[in-house]
Structure formats: structure tokens, C-alpha cells
Amino acid sequence: IISYGYDDDAPHDIVVDFGYDGRELVTSIVDDAKEYDPFVQAPEPDLDLDVDDRPIGGLGVFLVKEFMDATEYRHEAGHNTTTLRKTIGEQET
């Protein structure tokens, strides 16, 4: 977000919220950067490249999609909201 979302030097707020209900961890990131859905617009990495030939970067969105159970992006009122969900425990009954 910081490297690519802004084309000015002005200060910007990025809000990161974590929630856990005993079963699911939910992370929400809200920013006012340029509208960009990483789950649709980010290029797929070339996983066949040798580690020595791989450029630095480019695996973040891929890894998030691989490790999270659900991802969601929305743009409303000039803000991007990215939500990540991961089940990490069982809720007691």
C-alpha cells in the first residue's frame, strides 16, 4: 500500500484491525490509496523461475491467497477495504 498506492508525499492513515472469535481471525485493512483490488489486478507470479532468477517482490498477494481461507476487497467512499479471514481454532460449544 505504502509503496504503490500513493503518488504524493502527504501523510495518509492506514487502519489495521484484528478480530478473533475463538475460531476465526479476521484482519481488515482500510486506506485511502488509489483504488486497486489486489485479488483481481495483481499479476500472477511465475512460480517456475529459479530462486536466483526471481525478481524481489511479487509474491505477497499470492501468499495471502494461498494461506487465507477467504479474502475480500471493496472500494467505498474513497477508501479501500481489504479483509482477510483465517480459521485457526475451534469455537467451544
pLDDT of 93 reads 57
Average pLDDT, the chain: 91
Report yes or no on 46 lying in a domain.
Answer: yes
Report yes or no on 75 lying in a domain.
Answer: yes
pLDDT of 68 reads 97
Cα Dmax for the chain: 50
Report yes or no on 78 lying in a domain.
Answer: yes
The arithmetic mean of pLDDT across residues 26-37, rounded, is: 95
pLDDT at residue 2 above 80?
no
What domain count does the chain have?
1
Report yes or no on 8 lying in a domain.
Answer: no
pTM of this structure:
0.82
Report yes or no on 93 lying in a domain.
Answer: no
pLDDT at residue 57 above 90?
no
Domain hosting 80: range is 14-87
